[in-house]
Amino acid sequence: MKDGLYTADEIDDNLIDKEEIKDFILTNNNGIVNITEEGIVIAKTNTAREKITIQNNGLEPVLIKINGTATEEDYDFIIKASTRKNLGDGGTFVSDTMKLSIHGITLSGESIVSVLEEVNV
């Protein structure tokens, strides 16, 4: 059994013995995701996801689109920026039902978000 956390990819690829691990595994997809004007998938679709938390630790608001590509004109909601980088007062999105992909984009510059997924195996 591996020391530390398992990623969603390791779980999806069945690279782990599911009988050896606890009912819930925390995975943070490397923890920090850089969001730019070009956009990025913050979290892939994951049917094993029980909970996801995304917090904006950067200085730019992040536009979020569920199960699609976020654009300036097409997004589902905005996670507000932190008042200072990594201060911890930026907006937070938490869901215990969201299993679809989550995409983010900034309108200008770069922002960083921390991502934590709780996964049921």
Q: At the topology level of CATH, where does 8-120 sit?
A: Jelly Rolls (2.60.120)
- 40-59, pLDDT tens digit by residue? 999 999 988 989 999 999 99
Q: Where is pLDDT greater, at 81 or 48?
A: 81
Q: Quick: pLDDT tens for 60-79.
A: 999 999 999 999 999 999 99
**pTM surpassing 0.85?**
no
Collapsed DSSP state (helix, strand, coil) of residue 78: strand
Question: Which distant-in-sequence residues (6+ apart) come within 8 Å of 102 by Cβ?
Answer: 41, 42, 43, 52, 54, 64, 65, 66
- Domains of the chain, by residue range, sit at 8-120
Joined together, the tokens standing for residue 3 give 């020391």
